[in-house]
């Protein structure tokens, strides 16, 4: 079975940007572009994610500058299950959380879900990736799809 | 018998599709590691969470959602709030603090 990172490369669900001076709203929008390109989501999908972060704060930004923008399962404008991966050379500022802690991200894993089983499988794999710091560091330096695959070959996630 | 054997746990986030699944995943790790067999581990959106809470022994959510659960019957349901929803270590420590795990 292929891994989520292999799927990201096979489906061209990736984006490599500089990110300097970008607002988080723009960054979220750009992270959905690779999903829009193959009809996984509609071109206004990002609006729902932005509204959710505006309402609840940047709780989708995790440790190690990882962002996992997402909405609900079977959300409006979602046609396939997938992950839009994006690397920013510069950190994107998401403001502060409820404890006043600064939230920034340079790795985006933007989720869309039309199929709960596939989505759960994606999440389980992402949970392992998000705790694999060496892999995250290597992914943050990726500039090409080949770099993504190389990072995973070097720092594979163990099965658990 | 472990305290959480046969209990029902619920993970909540804004949408019930992202962080709550990460949480559910981490809860399962904690249960396996401690050899606990809960009756159910589920997830949902916070919009449904408060009304669903009474059917669960433990509700877990990320800190920003804690206030959504104001007014739940805490004699029946324990609310646990987390800083890092995918951290099985934080979940384990929080369950111990709440006296639900030895």
| Domain locations along chain A | 4-154
CB B9 within 8 A of CB B41: yes
Q: Which residues of A touch B64 (CB under 8 A)?
A: 56-57, 59, 97-98
CB A111 within 8 A of CB A125: no
How far is it, in rounded angstroms, from Cα B62 to Cα A83?
22
Report CB contact under 8 Å: A70, B17: yes
B1 located within any domain: no
- State the pLDDT at residue A64: 95
Which pLDDT tens digit goes with each residue over B19-28?
999 999 999 9
- State the pLDDT at residue A72: 83
Report CB contact under 8 Å: A73, B16: yes
Question: Average model confidence (pLDDT) for chain A?
Answer: 95
DSSP element (H, E) containing A146: helix A145-154
B18 located within any domain: yes
The whole-angstrom distance between B3's CA and the closest CA on chain A is 25
Q: Cβ of A62: how many Cβ atoms within 10 Å? A: 23
Report CB contact under 8 Å: B63, A98: yes
The whole-angstrom distance between A154's CA and the closest CA on chain B is 23
Q: Report residue A126 CA to chain centroid gap.
A: 9
Which DSSP string corresponds to A40-62?
SB-TTHHHHHHHHHHHH-STTEE
- State the pLDDT at residue A158: 77
Mean pLDDT value across residues A7-17:
98
Q: A118: helix, coil or strand?
A: helix
Which pLDDT tens digit goes with each residue over A39-50?
999 999 999 999
Which pLDDT tens digit goes with each residue over B31-70?
999 999 999 999 999 999 999 999 999 999 999 999 999 9
For chain B, what is the domain count? 1
**Which residues neighbour B36 within 8 Å (Cβ) at sequence distance 6 or greater?**
B2, B4, B5, B30, B101
Which pLDDT tens digit goes with each residue over A69-119?
999 877 899 999 999 999 999 999 999 998 899 999 999 999 999 999 999
The whole-angstrom distance between B96's CA and the closest CA on chain A is 22
**Which residues neighbour B80 within 8 Å (Cβ) at sequence distance 6 or greater?**
B58, B59, B60, B61, B91, B94, B95, B98
Domain CATH code at residue B12: 3.40.50.2300
How far is it, in rounded angstroms, from Cα B49 to Cα B72?
10
Structural domain range at position B12: 8-97
pTM for the structure as a whole? 0.93
Q: Cβ of A7: how many Cβ atoms within 10 Å? A: 18
Question: Does this complex have an ipTM over 0.90?
Answer: no
What is the torsional sign of CA A47, A49, A53, A58? negative
DSSP element (H, E) containing B9: strand B8-13
Identity of the residue in A70, A98, A123 whose CB atom sits nearest the CB atom of B64: A98
Is A159's pLDDT higher than 70? no
B3 located within any domain: no
Question: What are phi and psi for residue A114, nearest 5 degrees?
Answer: -115, -10
CATH H superfamily, domain A4-154: Mannitol-specific EII; Chain A (3.40.930.10)
Residue of chain B nearest A113, judged by CA positions: B17
**Exposed, middle or buried, A81 (CB in 10 Å: 0-12/13-18/19+)?**
buried
Is A160's pLDDT higher than 70? no
- State the pLDDT at residue A157: 93
Report CB contact under 8 Å: B18, A57: no
B21 located within any domain: yes
Identity of the residue in A71, A130, A160 whose CB atom sits nearest the CB atom of B15: A71
Report CB contact under 8 Å: A131, B86: yes
- State the pLDDT at residue B49: 93
Report CB contact under 8 Å: B17, A60: no
C-alpha distances (whole Å) from A58 to each of A76, A87, A93, B50 are 22, 18, 10, 22
With bands split at pLDDT 50, 70 and 90, how would you rate the model's confidence at B2? confident
């Amino acid at each position: 079975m292929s891994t989520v990172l292999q799927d990201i490369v096979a489906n061209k669900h990736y984006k490599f940007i500089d990110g300097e001076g970008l607002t988080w709203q723009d960054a979220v929008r750009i992270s959905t572009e690779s999903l829009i390109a193959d009809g996984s989501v509609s071109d206004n999908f990002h609006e729902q994610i932005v509204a959710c972060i505006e309402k609840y704060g940047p709780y989708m930004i995790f440790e190690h500058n990882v962002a996992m923008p997402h909405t609900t399962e079977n959300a409006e404008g979602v046609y396939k299950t997938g992950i839009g991966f994006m690397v920013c050379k510069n950190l994107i500022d998401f403001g502060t959380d409820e404890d006043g802690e600064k939230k920034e991200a340079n790795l985006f894993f933007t989720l869309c879900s039309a199929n709960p089983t596939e989505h759960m499988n994606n999440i389980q794999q992402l949970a392992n990736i998000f705790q694999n710091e060496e892999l995250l560091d290597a992914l943050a330096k990726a500039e090409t799809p080949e770099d993504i695959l190389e990072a995973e070959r070097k720092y594979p996630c163990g099965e658990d | 018998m472990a305290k959480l054997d046969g209990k029902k746990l619920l993970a909540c986030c804004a949408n019930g599709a992202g962080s709550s699944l990460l949480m559910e995943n981490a809860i399962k790790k904690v249960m396996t590691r401690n050899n606990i067999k809960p009756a159910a581990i589920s997830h949902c959106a916070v919009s449904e969470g408060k009304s669903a809470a009474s059917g669960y022994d433990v509700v877990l959510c990320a800190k920003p959602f804690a206030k959504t659960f104001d007014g739940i019957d805490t004699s029946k349901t324990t609310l646990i709030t987390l800083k890092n929803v995918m951290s099985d270590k934080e979940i384990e420590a929080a369950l111990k603090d709440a006296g639900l795990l030895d």
